Each structure stands twice: as C-alpha cells, then as structure tokens.
Structure 1
Amino acid sequence: MSRQSYQKSLQELREDVLYLSELVAERVREALSALEDKDEAQARQVIEGDHEINRIYLDLEKDCIDLIALQQPVASDLRFIASSFKIITDLERIGDLATNLAQYAIDAESDLYTEVDIQRIGDAALDMVDQSMDAYDAEDSDLCFSVADRDDDLDDMCDVASETIVRDIMTSDDFEGDGDIDMEEFLVDVRRLLLTVRDLERIGDHAVNIAARTLYMLDNDDALLF
C-alpha cells in the first residue's frame, strides 16, 4: 500500500467511526422516543436494527486489525488505530443499551414516577456521547476533559432518580396492604424503570471511555483511562 493509500485508509477509518457513532446515537434517541410514546413499532425497529450496528462494528474491527498487521504503524498512527478500535467497542455497547431501552418500551405496563424525567437523563447521556465524538473528530483534548467532568452531573441525576423510586416504595401506603395495585406487576415496572436509569448511566460511562481513548490518541495522555 502506498503512503497516499495508507493515509486515505486512516481517513476512511475516522469517517466510518463517526458514522457508527451517528447511527448508535440515533438508535438511542429512537429508543427514548419509544419509551416516552409507548411506541412498540418504533421500539422493535431499534431492536431489529441492532444487527446493522454489529455488522459495521465487525467490519471496522477487521479494518483496524488489517491496518495494524499489514502497515505496522508507529507512534501517533498506532495510537489512532488502537484508540479507534476501543472506541468502536464502546459504540457497539451503547447500541446494545439502546436495544435494552427499546425492550423496556415494549415491556412497560404503565407510567411510574412521572417526576423521574427519563428523557432529560437520556438527553444528558447522549450529549456526552456527541461531545466525546466531537473531541475525536476535531482532535480536541479540552473536550475530552469536559466530557469526563460532566459524568458527575449525570451520575447525580441517576442517583436522584433511583433514590426517588426507592424512597417511594419504602414510604408508600400501598405497601401496607391497603392498596389496590397489582403488586407483582408494580414491582416489575419498578425494576424496569431502575434498569432504564442504570442503562442511561452506562451510556455516559461509555462516553467517558471514548473521551479517555481520544485523549490518549491525541496526547499520549492516560489521565482519563483509570
């Protein structure tokens, strides 16, 4: 492979990683919309679309391995390829979490705890993903640290949401035996809501992973990796 072709392959890898991130983010948005609207058809589209994300991930994985094995890149190019390899893994896992959210939308029996704003939490997590990929695209180290800083805010939002749910269970009169709710159904919905919050928090964690790998790629700085 000529030097020109090699540089073109590196640029194509960057563009393909960015495309995968856009696709994954859109899947999360669709899953959140399905949750809000109780749209089973949209939720099933997200679940059925997961195979496309997996296919692209495997193709990019092969591209990374081929570039390392065949071109034996050094220094910054090696960090770029290795970091891109790690980043697509985080993106694929975000896609899996979008599938989880879509399944929760299908399984949801009722609205619980309207004071828990799932859409707001989801938007915050997606903003972190978008910002981490902006850092990757623009080669912006400062953005990497900004994503990491925002993770504490997302964690706080998720903690408040989970505590709200648990506190209500502990104090609700319905648990004294006088309520008329179907307790088994209620607890299933509570578990689903807690899992939704947990998965949104995990999306934020993957965004931080992407930012950490990007920082390492740019500056050989492992400050956010541990």
Structure 2
Amino acid sequence: MPRENYQERLEELRTDVVAMGDLVLDRYETALRAAETGDDDLADEVIGGDHVVNERYLELEDECTELLALQQPVAGDLRLVTASFKIITDLERVGDLATNLAAYGGDDGGIHPAVDFRGLGDAAGEMVADAVAAYEAGDPDACREIDVRDDDLDERCRRASEAVVRNLLEADRARAATNEAAEPDQLADTLDEISRALLAIRDLERVGDHGVNIAARTLYMIESDDELIY
C-alpha cells in the first residue's frame, strides 16, 4: 500500500475511534436518563441497541489488525494503532456499563435518595468525553488532568456508598425504636433499592476508570509515557 494511503487510513482510524466515542457517550447519556426517569422505553433502547456498539467495536478491531499487518508500523504510527485498539476496548465496556445503568432505575425513576446519581454520572461521562477529546487532539496535559479527577470521583462514590448503607441502618434503628417490624414486601423493596444503588455507584466509578484508561493510552501514544498505565 502506498505510504500516503496508509497515513490516510491512520487518520481515518483516529476519526472513527472518536466517532465510536460519540456513539457510546450518546448511549450512556440515554442510560442515565432512563435510570433517572424509570422510562422503560429508554432503557430498552439502550439495552436492545448494545449490538450497535459491539459491531462498531469489531469493525475497528479488524481495521487495527489490518493496519498492523499491512506495513508493520513503527514508533508513533505503531503507538497510534495500539492505543486505538485499547481505547475502543474501553469504549465498548462503557457501552456495556450503560446497559447496566439503564436498568437500575426504580419503577418511578431514580436510584436512591442518598445518591447524587446525575452528578456522579455526569462526572464519569465527562471524564470519558474529555479523554476521547484528548486522544483526538493529542493533548498530554488533558490526559494527566483526567487522572487527577478520578481521585475525586472515587471519593464521591465511596461517600455515596456509605450514605446508602447509613440510610439503611438509620431506617432499621427507627423501626426498632417503635417496635415496628418491616413487612416482607417492604423489606424486599428496600433491599432491591439498596442493591441497585450500590451497583449503580460501582458502575459509574468504572466508567470513570475507563476514562482514565483512555487517557493513559493516549498519553503513551503521544509521549511514549506509561505513567498512567501502571
């Protein structure tokens, strides 16, 4: 393949990875709205459309493999292709987490009154969006800044999980003080709500982790610096 065409395909790969990021983030935003509102149609849209993300991932995986095989790229070209391959894997996993999140909303919407679900969801999603933008622009400073933000998200998720458990304990103590026993159906509903809340917090934290992974691979692509990978 002529070198000019090869360089064009490398640039097309970068463009296609960014487009996959846009697709995943759009689905992620829909998943957040589904969980917030309890809208079954929105949830079904996210869950039923997961194959679109998977198919896009496989197409780009094939493209990365072919680019590696065609000219055995070296140095910067090699880092671009290998970083792109890792990044689409993280994006595919964010898509999987979106399908989880879409199903966590209660019948009337919402996750748990003690959890700032939208705030955590926006923070995690912005990390992924900014990491993809850093990949597109080749911005190493943005990559390092995303890693710093992850510490804040982790701490917010930790506090949210503690708030959910504390809410449960306080409700149990209040019932004990009045000698009121929880009805079986009420107890089952409470446990279901707590389980969904803790799973949602865990998955939002993982979305942020994938944002860091994208930033780490981007930084290595730009500067051959693996400080965020390990």
With normalisation by structure 1, the TM-score equals 0.95
Aligned to 1:159: 158
Distance 1:94 1:116 in 2: 21
Kindly provide the CA deviation profile for residues 7-34 of structure 1, in whole angstroms up to 9, marking residues without a partner as x. 1100110011000000101111001001
Q: How many Å apart are 1:127 and its aligned residue?
A: 0.8
Pairing partner for 1:217 from 204, 210, 221: 221
Query: 2-side partners of 1:56 and 1:65: how far apart?
Result: 14
Residue 214 of structure 1: SS of its match in structure 2?
helix
Which residue of the partner structure matches residue 25 of structure 2? 25
Counterpart Cα distance in 2 of 1:39 and 1:174? 32
What is the root-mean-square deviation of aligned Cα atoms in Å?
A: 1.4
The equivalent of 1:133 in structure 2 is 132
- 3-state SS of paired residue (2:104): helix
1:40 paired residue number: 40
Q: Secondary structure at the match of 1:178?
A: coil
Distance 1:96 1:174 in 2: 39
The 8 Å contact of residues 132 and 214 in structure 2, kept in 1 or not, is answered as yes
Alignment of 1:197-208 (within 5 A): 197-208=201-212
C-alpha distance after superposition, 1:187-215 (max 9, x if no partner): 01110111001000000000000000000
Contact 2:161 2:201 in 1 (8 A): yes
CA distance in 2, matches of 1:192, 1:175: 22
Are 2:87 and 2:217, in contact at CA under 8 Å, matched by a contact in 1? Answer: yes
Residue identity over aligned pairs, in percent, reads 50
TM-score normalised by the chain length of structure 2: 0.93
Determine the C-alpha separation between the residues in 2 that align with 1:81 and 1:214. Answer: 11
1:6–1:187 Cα change, 3 Å:
same
SS in 2 for 1:104: coil
Could you tell me how far apart the structure 2 residues matched to 1:77 and 1:68 are?
9
User: Cα distance, 1:174 vs. partner?
Assistant: 5.6
Q: 1:51 to 1:174 in 2, by over 3 A?
A: farther
Structure 2 residue identity aligned to 1:167: R
Alpha-carbon distance in 2 for matches of 1:20, 1:185 = 37
Q: Which runs of 5+ in 1 are unaligned?
A: none
Q: Report the residue type matching 2:79 in the other structure.
A: R
